[in-house]
């Protein structure tokens, strides 16, 4: 059987491209994700995050974010034989129908906006189609899971304006890293379904970055998707994570929130450790095999691997 293609909701490989540590063309350069590994793993859609590192916050966050977006667009231009930007519904229809990998540019950290709503239109013009509202810290939009008052505070007034404009522009809202009060505010404010692009199930592995059953069920009611993160500390409390831990999170979320809510968000090149036998983007087909062995139908695996995320994007992008 031909392997099922992958829509991966999160990777952090752009940092290495920006610093010229890797060209992201060849497996031999190391790392978790590059064009060669992605092709081998049958990745047809990849979210690439402009992750703003903490040392740039707050003063140089806007500058760093734009530097990363410049890198994202250079990467796409330098590799037009292998990738194409996904900017709208028409582009989305081309995904998996041609040999090139569709790229969704994302920003991980609303710090890129400063406290200026006009910056949202600017990053949209630069091709950004998904915004992670916060990383772990507080910013002008709201509070990340690492902020000191994250248990009490929801979205700011500016944060609510950002949600409204994201909806108007046709950009996907990403709540991974956002605190729980903020999560509920986003669900209340957004007219469109949302993504938690790289998180797992808290009931299987207690970690502040994972989602509670109540959050998973509400995400399902919203039509949203959670991309399973391959970061070992999110998957298991054991010292070593295995591919079967990923299967466990997928099975659990499918049971609690429905199969339509589950997707993939590897976090490749954003995590320091990886599960056994799921060590890079070439190894997605092995995960599909494990899911089939665990009793998922081929159609179920298609939903998890690509259909759910594509459905979500179709409802959000213009
Ligand atoms: Zn992240």
**Which domains does the chain carry?**
6-316 (3.20.20.140)
Give dist(CA 103, CA 244) in Å, integer: 28
In this prediction, residues 245-273 reach a mean pLDDT of: 98
Torsion of CA 238, 244, 247, 249, to 10 degrees: -10
Q: Which pLDDT belongs to residue 179?
A: 98
Retrieve residue 252's tokens.
């659990």
Buried b / exposed e along 217-246 (16+ C-beta atoms within 10 A):
ebbbebbbbbbbbbbbbbbbeeeebbbbbb
In this prediction, residues 252-280 reach a mean pLDDT of: 98
CA of 65 to the centre of ligand 1 (A): 15
Count of helices and strands (H, E) across the chain: 13, 9
CA of 2 to the centre of ligand 1 (A): 31
DSSP SS3 for 84: strand
Q: Which pLDDT belongs to residue 65?
A: 98
Q: Determine what percent of the chain is predicted with pLDDT higher than 90.
A: 98
Task: Please write the tens of the pLDDT for every residue from 42-100.
Answer: 999 999 999 999 999 999 999 999 999 999 999 999 999 999 999 999 999 999 987 99
CA of 295 to the centre of ligand 1 (A): 30
Q: How many CA atoms lie within 13 A of 226 on its CB side?
A: 34
DSSP secondary structure string, 125-155? HTTEEEEE---SSB-SS-BBTTSTTTTT---
CA of 311 to the centre of ligand 1 (A): 22
39 has a pLDDT exceeding 90: yes
Give dist(CA 294, CA 292) in Å, integer: 5
Can you give the C-alpha Rg of the chain in angstroms?
18
Nearest residue to 146 via CA among 240, 50, 20, 57: 57
3-state secondary structure 167-180: HHHCCEEECCCECH
Q: Apex CA 263: angle with CA 284 and CA 295, to 5°?
A: 70
CA of 135 to the centre of ligand 1 (A): 7
CA of 228 to the centre of ligand 1 (A): 12
Task: Please write the tens of the pLDDT for every residue from 166-222.
Answer: 999 999 999 999 999 999 999 999 999 999 999 999 999 999 999 999 999 999 999
How does the average pLDDT of the chain come out, rounded? 97
Q: Which pLDDT belongs to residue 1?
A: 57
Nearest residue to 132 via CA among 182, 208, 195, 213: 195
Contacts of 108 (CB under 8 A, 6+ apart): 12, 49, 50, 51, 52, 132, 135, 174, 177
CA of 144 to the centre of ligand 1 (A): 11
Given its phi and psi angles, is residue 210 left (phi above 0), alpha (psi -120 to 50 degrees) or beta? beta
Give dist(CA 298, CA 300) in Å, integer: 5
CA of 108 to the centre of ligand 1 (A): 7
């Amino acid at each position: 059987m031909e392997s099922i293609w992958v829509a991966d909701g999160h990777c952090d490989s752009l940092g290495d491209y920006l610093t010229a540590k890797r060209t992201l063309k060849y497996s031999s350069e190391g790392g978790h994700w590059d064009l060669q590994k992605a092709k081998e793993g049958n990745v047809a859609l990849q979210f690439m995050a402009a992750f703003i590192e903490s040392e740039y916050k707050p003063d140089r966050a806007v500058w760093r974010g734009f530097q990363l977006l410049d890198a994202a667009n250079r990467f796409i231009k330098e590799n037009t034989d292998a990738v194409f930007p996904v900017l709208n519904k028409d582009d989305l229809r081309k995904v998996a129908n041609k040999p090139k990998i569709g790229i969704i540019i994302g920003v991980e950290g609303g710090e890129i906006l400063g406290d200026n709503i006009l910056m949202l239109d600017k990053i949209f013009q630069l091709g950004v189609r998904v915004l992670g509202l916060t990383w772990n810290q507080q910013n002008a939009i709201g509070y990340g899971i690492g902020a000191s008052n994250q248990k009490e505070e929801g979205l700011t007034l500016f944060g609510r304006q950002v949600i409204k404009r994201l909806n108007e522009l046709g950009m996907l809202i990403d709540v991974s890293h956002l605190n729980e009060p903020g999560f509920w505010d986003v669900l209340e404010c957004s007219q469109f379904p949302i993504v938690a692009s790289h998180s797992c199930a808290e009931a299987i592995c207690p970690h502040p970055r994972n989602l509670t059953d109540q959050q998973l069920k509400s995400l399902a009611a919203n039509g949203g998707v959670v991309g399973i993160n391959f970061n070992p500390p999110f998957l298991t409390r054991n010292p070593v994570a295995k591919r079967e831990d990923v299967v466990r999170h997928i099975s659990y979320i499918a049971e609690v929130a429905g199969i339509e809510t589950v997707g993939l968000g590897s976090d490749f090149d954003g995590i320091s450790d990886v599960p056994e036998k799921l060590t890079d983007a070439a190894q997605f087909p092995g995960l599909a095999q494990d899911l089939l062995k665990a009793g998922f139908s081929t159609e179920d695996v298609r939903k998890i691997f690509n259909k759910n995320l594509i459905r979500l994007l179709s409802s959000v992008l213009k």
